Structures are given as structure tokens and as C-alpha cells.
Amino acid sequence: MKMRKWKELFGVFCFICTKAFRKSPVLFVSSNFLGCLAGILIGIQTTVMAVFFNIVTDANASRHSGIFMWGGILGTVLLLNEVVNGVMNYAYECLERKSVAEFKGMLHDKMSRISPVDYERPEFLDMVEKASKGATDATKFISEVTMLFTTYIPYLIYMGVYLFFTNHILCLSLLAIFVPVVVNQYIKGKIYANAENCAAAERRKKDYYRSCIYDMEYIKETRLLHKTGFFLKKFEASLKTLLRLEQDAERRVDCQEIVMAGITLAGYGGVLSLLIYSLLRREIAVGDFAAIFASVGMMYGIMCEIVEGRIGSISRNFGVVQNFICFLNASEWFFEKNSGERTDGKENAAIVLKEVCFRYPEACEDVLHKIDLTVKCGETVAIVGENGAGKSTLMKVMIGLYQPSAGSVLTGGGDIADTNSFDCVSAVFQQYQKYQMSVADNVMISDPKKDKPKSEEVYTVEEALEQVGMPPADTAIFPEGLNTMLSRQFGGKELSGGQWQRIAIARGIYRERGILFLDEPTAAIDPLEESELYFQFEKMCREKTAVIVTHRMGCARIADRIVVLHKGMIVEDGTHEELYHAMGYYRKYWDAQAVQMH
């Protein structure tokens, strides 16, 4: 292994161990102390066994009162070894459980701070897949490395000293067993690491096809279209690809293991021959021969366990754990500076867009083209346009979810990339979430820190629900009031699409912020009930800066200004009356919807 690789291994080990120690210092220290004690006890067992066999094989053994003493000592060592191993394994298991919770928490915390646009990148999703596996395997990595240094290496050092003083040449037996197995595991580690890199993307495909077969999100449409067999075939094809990659790696490993196993077996036979030769030349006592003969098998087993089990596991886990650490150390979206030119914000402006362009990862062309837009404080702006015009993308750029490919987005006079813009924003998205929790939790999740006296709150949970026409006192909708579980999977009730959208709007109302974004807020609402909600939207937008993305012209009329987006460009900007009489795109959309209404 190259020096750089050793440094990387040492860095990974130090990082993981530091986190595990901080999570549970008592368990970390005690498990490693017990591991060290277990390794020494195995070596002591060999020494005591040699003394005991020498006394038993002595011609005058019957006269030695020490035979019972050493027999008792040997039994005590064996019993103590079992007890220490049992407690050690339990301590390691407890440490692993605590550590995996810590690493998963670190992973989830990191993912919560990654730019949403990165989730559009296949290579990023592969990185998440590998990092997630690394977060789980990191606990195994800790136990494997620490047991190697605390249990096995002390044992090997002890046995090396013992063999050296028994017969100098017997020390070579450790190398005869160790070297071939190390070479074998080094080759295996490289094979498994390459296989893991190839399998990550295919594993994501397999998991996705499996979700299409039986996840609640897909199951209705999958069954209706009779496409279960279609996705099953894709799942099986992806699974076969994964199995082929694994089998190819295993086949290569098996071939080189056959060669190395032969070399190791020859070394094992050489050690036994050397041991017998030393006994016949009376270079070692019969008791030493018996103890070492019994220990050679143990040493061979432990050596294989060290290299094939421990080092092998370290080799396999090192790559995935390194992926986990690389993911944690990756730069986060809000640390990346916008490449566009910095400009000063306009006076009394909440949001300023200057020549903003945006392109999705792997896309060939921009979705937004040189957008110049200013939203003043306290102003309500509606963004309208046909499907695919870039309305929702523009809103995500304005919020700060997506960073522009070029240009600047300013809020409060500073670049949105340099500020935590989410703190001052409330939003209702077109693709809202249906949280499988109680009604109260579904609303309060938008502002969990909101804990003020009722007199200081603009809206309580009950008031937010009443504003969208779903009062908690309506037992027909909420049989258990605010405690009603909104999920059949957990013994609760399932709402209709329109009712779920009202919950999402209530969530946005409850989160009191100075800037409000509404993305197609009435997409799932009955048209007959839209006018009532328009009045609520107008009330929500008072004394706030609001941006409404909609294709419903009736909703756009409540805005102070209307911006028309066409093919990623702003083509019209003005009030309803101005745009209606301009006979442009807005008039075309208005007349088309008016004909549909009639």
C-alpha cells in the first residue's frame, strides 16, 4: 500500500474514532481496554498451558503438588478469557449502536444543508448512496480497526516474544503465515472497492424500480396501468446486473485466493515441521511442544481472522467509509459564491434579480434567460405563463433554493448566496408534502420554534386551518380534532387532494415571515371554492412581500403587478388593466381561460 493510502487510512480512522469517542467515551475506552486484555489473556493461556504440560509429563509428576495449582491457574485463565471476551463483545455492540446513530445524524444534517439543485445531479445521488452505506459501515470500521490493535496485535507481540525465547527460528512462523494472507487481502480490497464504485448507480435503479412496484406513491397508477410486470422486469434486470458485478468480483477473488491459500498452507506445514524438528533435537521441552502445537492452529486461525476477517473487512469498509467522510467534507451550497457580478440592491427592494440565468445540471440550455426583476417591500407580484415557461424554477431561484448559473439574486442588499434567506421566507409549493403525522404537526412543522403567547401570534394552528376552510372542530374532516392522524398507514384518515393542499396553505399561513411565496396554490382546489381562497390570499399578502406563481388568471388579479414569463424570459410586466389592454400574452391567457369558464 502506498504511503498516501496509509495516510488516508489513518485520517479516516482518526476521524471516525474521534466521533465515536465523543459520543460515548466510557464505552469506547472500556471496550478497547477489554480488547487489549483479551489479547494478552490468549497469550498467557499458551504460557500457562506449557508449564502445566511440562509438569504433567514430568516423570515425577505425581510428586509435584504444583500440578493442581497450575491446573487451577489454567482453568482460571480459560474462564477469565471467556468472560472478558463476552463483556468485550457486548461493549463493542453497544458502542456500534450509539455510533451508527451519531453517523446517521451527521449524514442527515449534511444532506439538509446541500443545495436542492444538487439533487438533480446523478453523480450527487450516487455520492449520497455511497455515503449512506459508509455511515452504517463506519461503526464496523471502528470495531475492526480497534480490535486489530487492541486484541490481535498484543497477542501476536506476546507470542512473538514467547516463540523467540523458546526457539529463535520459530519466530519466522508468524511471517510464514502472515505475509501470504496480507498480500491476498490487499488484492481483495482493490477488487471490492472497484466493484462498489460500479454498483452504486445500479443499486439506486434497483431501489427505485422496487418502490414503483409497491410504494404508496406509485401503487395506484402502477396497478391501474397493469405495469407491475413492467417494473418487475426492470427490477430483475437491475438486480441481475448487480449480481453479475458481485459474481465477477467474487470470481476474481476466488481465483487469487486459491493460489494464496496454497502458499499459506505450505507455510503452515513448514511451521509444524520445524516444531517437530526442534522437539526431536530436544531444543524445546515436551510441554512447550504441546502448548505451541496447540497454539499454532490457534495462531493460524487468528492470523486468518486478522487478515481475511479484520483487515479484509477494513479493506472493504475503507472505501465506503471514505465516501462518507468525503461527503461530509464536501462544500455546501451556501459557502459557494455566486459567479455573477455583485450589485447593490435597490432602495426599498425585498428581492432584486439582475441578469439571472439558470440551467439544470446536465441540461443543454438555460431554463431562465437574463431575468431582470425587482420586487419591492410590501408588494405582491404574480408570475404567470404557460406550462414549461420556467415559473416554478424562477421562484426557487428567488427563494435561494437554486443558485443562478449567472447573474445575481439580492435580498436585503446582499447576495442571497451569502445569507440564510430561508429564515425570512414562507412558501406553499405546488408539490406540497403530505406528512404522515397529526393535523397539528402538519401545520406546526413549518415553524416549530413558534412559541409565543396567543396575544402576540398573528395565527394559531386553529386559526390557520379556519382561514383555509378546514376548522379543527369539524369532526367530519377531523374526528379527533388537531390530534387526528393524517395517514391510513398509521390508523388515521386520508384526505383528498384539495384538502391536502389546504393543509399546505395553512402551513404557509402559520409560518409568519416577511416574504411569502405561493406556487400554484389552487392547483388541486375546486374552481367553485377558488374565489374564497383568493380572498384569503389577499389577506395573507397584506403588509408582506409576496410572489404568487400561477396559471389561474383570477388568482393573478389580486397582485399589485403581474409578470408574464415566456420561454424563460420576462415578456410583459404591469398591472392587470395595463396588460389586458396591451393585447399581448397576458390578454391571450385571460381570454383563453374566460372561454373555458363559459
Residue 2 has pLDDT above 70, yes or no: no
Q: CA 232, 233, 236, 238 torsion: positive or negative?
A: negative
φ, ψ of residue 193 in degrees (nearest 5): -65, -45
Which range has the top average pLDDT, 8-17, 63-72, 449-458, 504-513?
504-513
Q: CA 465, 391, 354, 576 torsion: positive or negative?
A: negative
Residue 341 has pLDDT above 50, yes or no: no
Q: pLDDT over 90 for what percent of the chain? A: 5
Per-residue model confidence (pLDDT) at position 597: 52
- CA-to-CA distance for 122 and 127, rounded, in angstroms? 9
| Better pLDDT: 58 or 453 | 58
Average pLDDT, the chain: 77
Q: Which of 328-332, 432-436, 542-546 has the lowest mean pLDDT?
A: 328-332
Per-residue model confidence (pLDDT) at position 571: 93
Indicate the residue type of 147.
Answer: M
**Bridge partners, residue 569, by sequence:** 566
> What is the DSSP code (8-state) at residue 544?
S
Across 226-231, average pLDDT? 80
Residue 406 CB-half CA count within 13 A: 10
Q: How far is CA 269 from the centre of its chain?
A: 48
406-411 and 349-358 beta bridge pairing: antiparallel
Across 179-203, average pLDDT? 70
Per-residue model confidence (pLDDT) at position 339: 40
Q: Which of 56-65, 498-507, 547-556 has the lowest mean pLDDT?
A: 56-65
Across 108-130, average pLDDT? 77
Residue 61 has pLDDT above 70, yes or no: no
Residue 296 has pLDDT above 60, yes or no: yes
Q: Which of 51-60, 140-149, 298-307, 540-549 has the lowest mean pLDDT?
A: 298-307
- CA-to-CA distance for 499 and 497, rounded, in angstroms? 5
Reported as a pLDDT band with limits 50, 70 and 90, residue 456 is very low
Q: What is the pLDDT of residues 348-383, one digit of tens each?
A: 557 889 999 998 887 888 999 999 999 988 888 999
Q: Identify which of 488, 492, 504, 359 has the alpha carbon closest to the alpha carbon of residue 431.
A: 504
E-strand ranges in 102-235 read none
With 0-12 CB in 10 A as exposed, 13-18 as middle and 19+ as buried, what is 598? exposed
Per-residue model confidence (pLDDT) at position 356: 92
- CA-to-CA distance for 142 and 32, rounded, in angstroms? 11
The set of residues, in sequence order, having a beta carbon less than 8 Å from that of 385 and lying 6+ positions away, is 391, 551, 564, 565, 566, 585
Q: Which of 302-316, 388-402, 515-529 has the lowest mean pLDDT?
A: 302-316
Q: Which of 12-21, 124-133, 220-229, 321-330 has the lowest mean pLDDT?
A: 220-229
Q: Which of 106-115, 512-521, 529-538, 566-575 has the lowest mean pLDDT?
A: 529-538
| Better pLDDT: 484 or 552 | 484
Residue 595 has pLDDT above 60, yes or no: no
Q: Which of 397-401, 550-554, 562-566 has the lowest mean pLDDT?
A: 550-554
Across 573-588, average pLDDT? 89
Helix, strand, coil shares, percent, the chain, to 5 = 65, 10, 25
- CA-to-CA distance for 355 and 368, rounded, in angstroms? 10
The set of residues, in sequence order, having a beta carbon less than 8 Å from that of 135 and lying 6+ positions away, is 100, 103, 104, 106, 107, 324
Residue 1 has pLDDT above 70, yes or no: no
361 three-class SS: coil
Which range has the top average pLDDT, 121-125, 284-288, 480-484?
480-484
Residues in the chain: 598
Distances in Å between the Cα of 115 and the Cα atoms of 78, 195, 392, 563 are 57, 29, 16, 27
Per-residue model confidence (pLDDT) at position 594: 65
474 three-class SS: coil
Per-residue model confidence (pLDDT) at position 335: 35
Per-residue model confidence (pLDDT) at position 332: 57
Long-range interactions of 166-173: CB distance < 8 A, separation 24+: 166/284, 166/288, 166/292, 167/278, 167/283, 167/284, 169/274, 169/278, 170/271, 170/274, 170/275, 170/278, 170/292, 172/274, 173/267, 173/270, 173/271, 173/274, 173/296, 173/299
Q: How far is CA 198 from the centre of its chain?
A: 19
- Interhelix angle for 228-280 vs 172-214, to 10°? 170
Q: Quick one: CA torsion of 428, 433, 434, 435, rounded to 10 degrees?
A: -110
Residue 180 has pLDDT above 70, yes or no: no
Q: What is the pLDDT of residues 392-447, one digit of tens each?
A: 889 888 888 888 888 888 876 666 665 555 667 888 887 788 888 898 888 888 88
Reported as a pLDDT band with limits 50, 70 and 90, residue 247 is confident
Residue 149 has pLDDT above 60, yes or no: yes
Distances in Å between the Cα of 423 and the Cα atoms of 381, 441, 445, 513, 514 are 20, 20, 14, 8, 9
- CA-to-CA distance for 515 and 378, rounded, in angstroms? 9
Reported as a pLDDT band with limits 50, 70 and 90, residue 262 is confident
Residue 548 has pLDDT above 70, yes or no: yes
Per-residue model confidence (pLDDT) at position 218: 73
Q: How far is CA 563 from the centre of its chain?
A: 40
Q: What count of other Cβ atoms lies within 10 Å of the Cβ of residue 131? A: 25
Long-range interactions of 422-427: CB distance < 8 A, separation 24+: 423/513, 424/513, 424/514, 424/515, 425/399, 425/400, 425/513, 425/515, 425/516, 425/517, 426/508, 426/511, 426/512, 426/513, 426/515, 426/516, 426/517, 427/399, 427/508, 427/516, 427/517, 427/518, 427/519
Reported as a pLDDT band with limits 50, 70 and 90, residue 569 is very high
- CA-to-CA distance for 149 and 159, rounded, in angstroms? 15
Across 315-343, average pLDDT? 60
Per-residue model confidence (pLDDT) at position 358: 92
- CA-to-CA distance for 395 and 428, rounded, in angstroms? 11
Q: Which of 123-137, 161-175, 309-323, 336-350 has the lowest mean pLDDT?
A: 336-350
Alpha helices in 305-401 (DSSP H): 312-329, 391-399
